Amino acid sequence: MIRASGVSDTGPVRKTNEDKFVTDFDLGLFAVADGMGGHKAGEVAAQIAIEAIAGFISRSANDDDVTWPYGIDETASYEGNRLRTAILLANRKIVRVAESSDDYGGMGTTIAGVLLAGSRAVIGSVGDSRVYLLTGGRLEQLTVDDSWAETILAQDPKLGPEQIANHPMRNVLTNVLGGRQTVDVHVSERTLSTGDVLLLCSDGLHGVLGRETLEQTLANTADAEQAARTLVEKALGAGSRDNVTALVVRCEEDT
């Protein structure tokens, strides 16, 4: 049995909440998008992403004739290809909407999504919204940030996060939906067990809460809604100045 709940807060500084999320138990789809751009364009981009992804996942659920405009990745499962295609379609739609209006020019969004099929979880991401997995009491980050900082750390393993913590480009994203016609989608898969917990979140949360806080909160809070709410409250209490979103998905025994 899957129990899930999401909580999103505008935060103390922003006038609008450009984070969007979806929990769709029928589709097995859970996703968080963190939009960016002026004139509320970030909010628009995030909403387009959520709707486009949910739309394709719905159309491809039981339709063998669905069009796969980006081909098939033979290294991924059917579900992996569904989520990959859905994210690529979202990128195409955001680009087209951005080109249609000066108000939306330059808008974009991150995406972190999970598609569940039985005990398998497909994880897809672009940008720096994250998916974590708590399993066996230990927290693991399942996504990789598309950021300048992550790129530099990957190129030089000797560097530590503290050495770039104050760099002015540390939060610059290198890959977002809507940024260009082609986008790199990171797709991976995991087998879930009873008791496992997934956390999908925007950088307004993981940017201020450390791994230990995330791990302990998820491990010690049995209710998905309460866990999500507690994480958001802790992020705001820790000084987050961004929109903050937490979506918690728990795998529980069937009753």
CATH code at position 199: 3.60.40.10
pTM of the full structure? 0.93
Tens digits of residue pLDDT in 178-230: 989 999 999 999 999 999 999 999 999 999 999 999 999 999 999 999 999 99
Tens digits of residue pLDDT in 58-103: 999 987 677 889 999 999 999 999 999 999 999 999 999 999 988 8
Instruction: Give residue 254's pLDDT.
Output: 78
CA terminus-to-terminus distance, the chain: 8
3-state secondary structure the chain: CEEEEEEEECCCCCCCCCEEEEEECCCCEEEEEEEECCCCHHHHHHHHHHHHHHHHHHHCCCCCCCCCCCCCCCCCCHHHHHHHHHHHHHHHHHHHHHHHCHHHCCCEECEEEEEEECCEEEEEEECCCEEEEEECCEEEECCCCCEHHHHHHHHCCCCCHHHHCCCCCCCCECCCECCCCCCCCEEEEEECCCCCEEEEECHHHHCCCCHHHHHHHHHHCCCHHHHHHHHHHHHHHCCCCCCEEEEEEEECCCC
Residue with more model confidence, 164 or 64: 64
Domain extent at residue 170: 2-251
Listed in sequence order, the residues at least 6 apart from 155 whose beta carbon sits closer than 8 Å to its beta carbon are: none
Rounded to the nearest integer, the mean pLDDT of the chain is 91
What proportion of the chain, given as a percentage, has pLDDT over 90?
78
The region, left, alpha or beta by phi > 0 then psi within -120 to 50, assigned to residue 122 is beta
Q: What integer is the mean pLDDT of 32-38?
A: 91
Instruction: Give residue 62's pLDDT.
Output: 81
* Residues found in the chain: 255
Instruction: Give residue 150's pLDDT.
Output: 66
Residue with more model confidence, 66 or 153: 66
Does the structure show a pLDDT above 70 at 154?
no
Does the structure show a pLDDT above 70 at 170?
no
Instruction: Give residue 116's pLDDT.
Output: 98
Q: Count structural domains, the chain.
A: 1
